[in-house]
Chain A
Amino acid sequence: MQQQQTDPLADNPFFVLGLAPDCSRQEIEREGQKLLGLLELGLSRAATYQTPLGPRERTPELVRGAMAELRDPKRRVVHELWADVAQATSVAHERAEQAQASPGEAPAWTDVWQLFDWRAP
C-alpha cells in the first residue's frame, strides 16, 4: 500500500485551514471545525483557499486531512517549513498577475483541422 501523494505547496494544511505556521493546537481544531461547518452549509467564502500557486478548492476531506496532519508534530514541522513560503511569494504573486494581464502571444487557430478534412477534437 502506498500513501496518497499530496502537494506540499498547494495542499499545505496551513493554507487549507488558513492559519499561520506558529498557530496553536486549539486554533487548528477550532478553525477546522468552523470550516467543516461552513462547507456543510455550502457557504461560498469557505469554498476556496489561497496558496502561493493561486486559489484552490477546499473540500471537507482536505480540511479533515489537514487537521490530522497538523496533530502529528513530526509532520507538522515539515509543513511549517513549506508554509514559510507565504510571505516570500506575496510580491511574486502580484507580478505574475500583472504579467498575465498583459497581452500574450499569437492566438491559437482552433479550427485549423478543417483545412485538412479532419474533425476538431
Chain B
Amino acid sequence: MTSTGLLLCGLAVLAWYRSRSDARARPRGLKHVDLKVARAHLHDPPPRWVWQTGARGPLLALAILSAHVDVVAALSRPPVWAMLAALLLVAVYLPQLADLGWALARKAIARGYTRLAYRLAKLSATTWREDREGGAVLAAAWASYAKPTFDPDDTTWVEDKLHKLPSLAGAGVVAQGLLAANRGDRDQARTLMHSAASLRNDDTPAYAMTVAWDWLIADAAADGRWHEVIRIAAQPLDLSPTAKLLAAIAARLDGQPSPPDINLKALWLAAGKHRQTLPWRDRALSCKRVLYRQKKAAQPATQTPAEVSGSDLQKALGLHAQLRREGPVWLRLRPKKLAELVAAWERVFAGKSLLKQLQRRIIRLEAPLDGAEVIARYRRQICEDIANFAQAAEVSLVDAIGPHADDSFAAQAVYVLRSRLLVHVEQLSDTLHNRVRSGREKLPIDEWREWTQLRESCEHATRLGGMDARRVLFPQVHKACCAHAVWLWNERKQYAMAMPMFRWLLQEAEAVGDEAAIELQRKNAEVKH
C-alpha cells in the first residue's frame, strides 16, 4: 500500500512537471509575447520530457524503491500479486534494458571499436530516439577519437557514414566536430561544437549536446582557460557528471564562488575515473572556498603614456609596443588600454612636433619627400595595427573609445576596422548567394560549415563594429542566408539545418528592426515539415 502510494505520488509529480514544461515550451503566438521571452524560447527550448530534467533522478529512485517494496511484500501473498509485482519491476527496469544498446556502445567506444560502437548505438531505444542514424555516427566518431593513435581508415569510414546521413541534425554536427578534433583541428572542432547548440530542437538528442559541451569544457580545461569552463557550465545545460566536476574544480582554482567540500567530493564520486581525478580534486580542496564574487584589488597600471619619458610619439609607441607584447588576452581584460592608446596617438597626430621632427630628418637625408604624405602613410599603418589589436582581442573599438569627432584619428581607426570586417562578411555572403543561385550542392555538413562561418563572421563584425556594422550588413546577409535556407528546406529537405537559419535571421531582423524581414522570418520559423 505504501509503495503504491509512493508510486502514485511520483506519477502525479511527473504529470505536473510535464504539463508545466509543455506550457512553457509553447509560447502562445510570437506576436503577443515579449520578444525577449520568445527569443529565449527559440534558442533555448525548455526540456519536454521529465527524463531530460533534474527530476529524473529522484523519480527513478522513487519508482525503483516502490517496486522493490512491492516485490518483497508480494512474496507472502497469492501468486497473482507476485506476478503483478514482477511486472512492475520489469516496467521499472525497462528503460534501462531498452538502452542496453547504448550502454554496450559506450564500452565499445572506450575501447576504440568504431564499427561495433556504430552498430550497438543503432540499437539504442532512448538515448538516440530522435536521431538514431546521427547518434550511431556520433558513437563511431567518438570511438575513432578514443583510439590511442589516429587511424585514417577508420576516420574515412566514419566520414562516409556521416555523408550518407539522409538529414543533418545536431548529432551529425557533433560527430563532425569529433572527427575534426580527431584530426587535430581543434579550432574547427570548437566552431562545430558551438554551432551544434543552434541546432537544438526536437530532432536533436539531448545526449549529442552533452557530448558537445563536454568537449568544449575539456578543451578549455586542457588549455587552463578555467574562466571559460565556468562560463560554459554556468548555462542551463545537461552536463555529464565529469563536466560538472570539472566546473566545480575550475571555480575553486579560479577563486570563483564554488560548492562546499562535501559537494565537491560527491561530484568526484559520481564522475568516475577516480584515480585520474583525485589529484585535481585534492588540489581544488586545498584552495580556499569563495562564497561571493570578490572585487580584485586595484593593481598598479604596468605602463601608461605618462610614465614613459620622452616625446608624445615615444609615449604612444611605448604603449603600442606594450599592447603588442602583452597579447590579445591581456587586452581583452583591459579594453580601456585600447582607448588610452588611441588617445595617445590622437595627441601625436594633433600636435606639430611630429611634422617638425620628420622635416628635420628629410632635410638630413636630402630626400625629396613631403612630410604630410609620410605622416599619412604612418598614420594608416598605426590604424591597421590598432585594428589588428581589436580583432585579435575581440574588443569593440567603438565601445572602447566612445564618442569621437569624424576627422579624428579614432574615427579613422574605427573606419579601417569596420571596412575590414564588412568586406570579409560581404565576400562570404556573395559566395554563398552565387552558389545557391547556380544550384551547386555541397555535402550537408559542408553546407552547415559554410553557413556557420558566415554567421560567426557576422556576429564577430557586430561585436567589434557595433550596431552600425550590424545594420549595414543585414540586408546583404539576409538576402544570401534566406535564399540558402529556403533552398535547403524546399529542394534538399534539410529541415533540421534550415530551421536554425530562419531563427537566426529572425533574431537579426528584430535586432536591426527590419519589419518586412521580421514578418517573413516569423512565418518561416513557424513552418512545420
Binding site for B on A (CB under 8 A): 8-9, 22, 52-54, 73-74, 76-78, 80-82, 84-85, 87-89, 91-93, 95-96, 99, 105-121
Contact = CB atoms under 8 A, between A and B. Distances in A.
Interface stretch (B43-51, B123-131, B178-186): B178-186
A9 B321 contact: yes
Given A78-B378, A85-B320, A112-B218, 18 more contacts: A8-B385, A52-B324, A73-B362, A73-B367, A74-B369, A77-B365, A77-B367, A84-B314, A88-B318, A107-B224, A113-B222, A115-B271, A116-B215, A117-B142, A118-B178, A118-B218, A119-B149, A119-B182
A73 B370 CA distance: 12
Contact of B317 (A89, A109, A110, A115): A89
A92 B308 contact: yes
Given A76-B365, A77-B369, A96-B322, A116 B221 contact: no
A105 B230 CA distance: 15
Given A92-B302, A107-B224, A108-B223, A115 B324 contact: no
B214 A116 contact: yes
A120 B21 CA distance: 39
B358 A89 contact: no
Interface stretch (B62-70, B71-79, B273-281, B516-524): B273-281
A7 B218 CA distance: 35
15 contacts: A9-B321, A77-B369, A80-B361, A82-B381, A88-B318, A88-B321, A91-B303, A91-B307, A112-B221, A116-B214, A117-B142, A118-B146, A118-B215, A119-B146, A119-B147
Nearest to B211: A116
Most buried by B among A22, A81, A93, A99: A81
A53 B362 contact: no
A89 B322 contact: yes
A118 B145 CA distance: 6
A96 B365 contact: no
A106 B110 CA distance: 29
Given A8-B381, A77-B369, A106-B253, A99 B302 contact: yes
A84 B318 CA distance: 9
Contacts of B369: 73-74, 77
Interface string B122-154: 000000000000000000001001111110000
Closest 8 CB pairs of A and B: A108-B224, A73-B367, A88-B318, A85-B317, A52-B321, A106-B253, A88-B314, A117-B146
Nearest to B320: A85
B440 interface: no
A54 B326 CA distance: 11
Contacts of A77: 358, 361-362, 365, 367, 369, 374
B102 interface: no
Most buried by B among A8, A84, A115: A115
Contacts of B147: 119
B82 interface: no
A12 to B, nearest CB: 11
B315 interface: yes
A96 B325 CA distance: 8
A105 to B, nearest CB: 7
Contact of A115 (B178, B276, B354, B366): B276
A112 B276 CA distance: 9
Contacts of B242: 115-116
B118 interface: no
Contact of B318 (A53, A92, A115): A92
A52 B325 contact: yes
Contacts of B215: 116, 118
Contacts of B320: 9, 85
Contact of B254 (A80, A89, A106, A117): A106
Nearest to A5: B384
A87 B302 contact: no
Nearest to B246: A112
Interface in B18-35: none
A78 B374 contact: yes
Contacts of A111: 276
Contacts of B273: 114-115
Most buried by A among B186, B277, B361: B361
B256 to A, nearest CB: 11
Contact of A53 (B271, B313, B315, B325): B325
Contacts of B377: 78
B229 to A, nearest CB: 9
B224 A119 contact: no
A120 B145 CA distance: 9
Interface in B212-256: 214-215, 218, 221-224, 226, 240, 242, 246, 253-254
B310 interface: yes
A22 to B, nearest CB: 8
B370 to A, nearest CB: 10
A74 B381 contact: no
Contacts of A118: 142, 145-146, 178, 181, 215, 218
B221 A92 contact: no
Contacts of B222: 108-110, 112-113, 120-121
A84 B302 contact: no
Nearest to A10: B324
B330 to A, nearest CB: 10
A49 to B, nearest CB: 15
Contacts of B110: 117
Nearest to A110: B222
B326 to A, nearest CB: 7
A111 B374 CA distance: 53
B321 A106 contact: no
